Amino acid sequence: MPRTKSARQAQKAQQERQRLFSSMQEFIQQRGIPKEQFVEVLRGALLDVLERTLPEEKRQSQAFSVIVNPDTADIQVFKRRLIVPDEELEDEGWQIALSQALEKDPQAEVGEEFFEEIPLQSLTRTQIDQLKVRLRQQIRDLERRALYERYSHMVGEILTGEVLKATRDELIVLHEGNELSLPRRELIPGKDVYVPKESQAAYRRERQAASVVKAVVAQVLDPCHTPPSRPIVVLSRTSPLFLEALLKLEIPEIYDGLISIKKVVRIPGERAKVLVESYDDRIDPVGACVGVKGTRIKPVVEELRGEYIDIIPYSPDVKLMISRALAPATVMYVDLYPTRRYAKVFVAPEEYARAVGREGINVRLAQELLGYELDIREASEYGEEEDIELTEFSDEIPEALLKLLQREGFHTAQAVLQFPIDELQKRTQIDFPTLQKIYQILQAEFEE
């Protein structure tokens, strides 16, 4: 005898329910969501779908109860009804006659609550669809919360992952089973080429094309305050955090806290300046970071696609910091205006282009590093014709003292004379009487 249309629909609905529960179970296993959490999500989703069948004013009445066995995945749904005398039965949706209740439970009494089991097969196609939507939404919320809890303490740390998918705006990076976002704006411009592994053949001519990417966790957003369309974990290769984390990996003194990184500024792929300070007088922070013949800094430069990195030792002396921050240029003298956070910086004409840098990169980074506006000027504007190189005084001033002054950024007579003698004494550690003699020698040259 052929099956009726309703029988076919019932069988189809039952098959769909079975597929739903099995697929959901497989999904949570892949995502690493604990069974207990999934059980609560499933209970909540079922209750929400079932309560939608009730009149709006009765949806918060706890009319339904759902029991889920996390081990066997058995699900039982009960509807709560009140036992009333047969003659007082008015609403079969909320009440059950005593005689009917006694047929199922011989100990039933008037006034008690009666829990009637509802077969899952009775769920309609529409209810199944609603349940799917609700489950996906809540599981997605669980997944985002799990991502937040997993990575919120990892901001500033480097991780390595495989490029799972590439879109116009971002790369999806797979890390320990989690999908993280690496926006294209966070790639080194014109130098980073990353593609999914299966797409590498199309990029075989691109020597830099890779399917594995190293990046820093730049941002982890709280899902409670983040739109569903935005990623929770954002990676970056252009953030100063990336360079800072790379230095920690390559330089033991930084990792151990003997050298601190006070600030990092970058123009990704072009140049970076790193301000460092040593807590141990025996450790040269620049030498420790660069390494013998550049062995320590080289892997960092390679990871950043050839980005030039200037390591700058910190000093409380602002003028000295300005001179150091404009490396590789040599500064002759600095006129400082602290209240305006402004400085006129004088350099030799042949050093001007180096101080400013290509497209102003060097001076822009120095300004960002120090928080000062730097006005780079050629020394002729300061009176270069009246200045004299310190090396010209080698007959009158010991070579060791001249080298000490040059090491601190003083290369001309005017640079020394324009600097307060007490501050110069602190910087060079030259005793005061000796400094006074040096000043007298230099001043005498200009008085002749």
Radius of gyration in angstroms for the set of CA atoms belonging to the chain, rounded to a whole number: 37
> Do residues 213 and 340 both lie within one domain?
no
More confident residue, 1 or 332: 332
User: Which candidate, 118, 80, 114, places its Cα nearest to that of 97?
Assistant: 114
d(CA 215, CA 186): 9
Question: Are residues 181 and 233 in contact, defined by beta-carbon separation less than 8 angstroms?
Answer: yes
Residue 46 tokens, joined: 């079922």
> Do residues 250 and 362 both lie within one domain?
yes
**Residue 232, amino acid:** I
Residue 295 lies in a domain: yes
What are the start-end ranges of the H helices in 222-340? 240-250, 252-255, 285-290, 297-303, 318-325
Other C-beta atoms closer than 10 Å to the C-beta of 122 total 10
Arithmetic mean of pLDDT, 368-388: 78
Tell me what percent of the chain is helix, strand and coil, each rounded to the nearest 5: 50, 25, 30
> Do residues 129 and 20 both lie within one domain?
yes
pLDDT of 126 reads: 82
Residue 149 lies in a domain: no
Residues in the chain: 448
Domain boundary among 236, 268, 285: 236
Q: Using 50, 70 and 90 to split pLDDT, how confident is the model at 277?
A: very high
Residue 54 lies in a domain: yes
Lowest mean pLDDT among 68-77, 119-128, 148-157, 325-334: 68-77
Residue 150 lies in a domain: no
Q: Using 50, 70 and 90 to split pLDDT, how confident is the model at 207?
A: very low
What CATH number has the domain bearing residue 364?
A: 3.30.300.20
> Do residues 202 and 295 both lie within one domain?
no
pLDDT of 96 reads: 80
d(CA 324, CA 259): 18
Residue 169 tokens, joined: 């705006």
What CATH number has the domain bearing residue 88?
A: 3.30.1480.10
Residue 151 lies in a domain: no
Question: Are residues 117 and 76 in contact, defined by beta-carbon separation less than 8 angstroms?
Answer: yes
Lowest mean pLDDT among 72-76, 181-185, 339-343: 72-76
Query: The pTM is what?
Result: 0.68
Strand bridging mode 308-313 / 271-278:
parallel
> Do residues 34 and 120 both lie within one domain?
yes
Question: Are residues 220 and 232 in contact, defined by beta-carbon separation less than 8 angstroms?
Answer: yes
> Do residues 291 and 205 both lie within one domain?
no
Domain boundary among 178, 212, 236: 236
Domain boundary among 203, 236, 269: 236
Highest mean pLDDT among 3-7, 117-121, 243-247, 358-362: 243-247
> Do residues 257 and 352 both lie within one domain?
yes
CA distances from 208 to 175, 194, 327 (A): 21, 8, 30
Domain coverage including residue 12: 5-143
> Do residues 222 and 263 both lie within one domain?
no
d(CA 167, CA 206): 18
Question: Are residues 405 and 390 in contact, defined by beta-carbon separation less than 8 angstroms?
Answer: yes
Q: For a pLDDT cut of 70, what percent of the chain falls above it?
A: 83
Average pLDDT of the chain, as a whole number: 83
Arithmetic mean of pLDDT, 284-308: 94
Q: Using 50, 70 and 90 to split pLDDT, how confident is the model at 384?
A: very low
Residue 355 lies in a domain: yes
Residue 152 lies in a domain: no
Strand bridging mode 75-84 / 95-97:
parallel
pLDDT of 266 reads: 97
Beta bridge partners of 274: 264, 311
d(CA 106, CA 84): 15
Arithmetic mean of pLDDT, 8-17: 59
User: Which candidate, 239, 187, 241, places its Cα nearest to that of 213?
Assistant: 187
Q: Which residues contact 178 (CB under 8 A, 6 or more apart)?
A: 147, 150, 151, 233
pLDDT of 389 reads: 83
The string of pLDDT tens digits covering residues 115-169 is 777 777 777 788 778 877 887 888 788 888 888 989 999 999 999 999 988 888 9
What CATH number has the domain bearing residue 395?
A: 1.10.150
Q: Cα angle at 66 between 60 and 67, to 5 degrees?
A: 150
Question: Are residues 408 and 428 in contact, defined by beta-carbon separation less than 8 angstroms?
Answer: yes
pLDDT of 30 reads: 63
Residue 343 tokens, joined: 């400085």
pLDDT of 87 reads: 81
> Do residues 210 and 315 both lie within one domain?
no
- The HSE-up count of residue 274 (CA atoms within 13 Å, CB side) is 29
Q: Which residues contact 17 (CB under 8 A, 6 or more apart)?
A: 120, 121, 123, 128
Count up the domains in the chain and report the number: 4
404 DSSP 8-state letter: H
> Do residues 19 and 135 both lie within one domain?
yes
Residue 148 lies in a domain: no
Question: Are residues 80 and 65 in contact, defined by beta-carbon separation less than 8 angstroms?
Answer: yes
> Do residues 98 and 215 both lie within one domain?
no
More confident residue, 356 or 429: 356
> Do residues 347 and 404 both lie within one domain?
no
Residue 64 tokens, joined: 């339904």
Highest mean pLDDT among 8-12, 56-60, 127-131, 441-445: 441-445
pLDDT of 233 reads: 93
Arithmetic mean of pLDDT, 306-330: 93
Arithmetic mean of pLDDT, 58-76: 68
Residue 279 tokens, joined: 């807590």
Arithmetic mean of pLDDT, 232-258: 95
Lowest mean pLDDT among 28-37, 144-153, 335-344: 28-37
